[in-house]
Structure 1
């Protein structure tokens, strides 16, 4: 049986059974934009950290959504979090996302592999 929970207007989680003792937790987010005040961004990331902390370590975890972030191409600071196929420069929302990924041992997968230029964002 799936279990859905809306944490806020920006965070929703769903826990799905994969087999008898295995589960997947999907967290879908819509992060504040760059123009939002820092306190809104901090509140969002604090809430997301709380949600991530509540996910059982044995669950398969997918964190998806619109982070309104650019993480750029320089992976020297975040080699375990991002690949080498990003574009542009990191913005402040990107720094928040990368720090969160580092804290929770998550990987930004869409830049781990080479993509055609028309698929890069």
Structure 2
């Protein structure tokens, strides 16, 4: 696998790490919802599921798109031959633009998920 600015900045090993992050975050979202319901907290507290749902979406999208937002932020890539610095300013700018888009997409998915959970709790109550 080869580094491609704004397209791909992680290899298979790093992809697996992002997938595990996503799965762990999704489990945390389930635990968050279960805790709110079990403890009898106000329904609006279900909106806190936004944070782990954002993490789940971020992990999944980074896995699927072979792109790490954090690596883009610090200007490195790792496609399987160790972490290397992005030397070209245009490549770094392309990576950071991609990171912003992935971040926004993950936040949108987390927000929609949290709103759906909250809405379902109102309808089912």
TM-score (norm. length: structure 2)? 0.30
Which structure has the larger Rg? 2
Q: Which has the higher helix share?
A: 2
Q: Which has the higher strand share?
A: 1
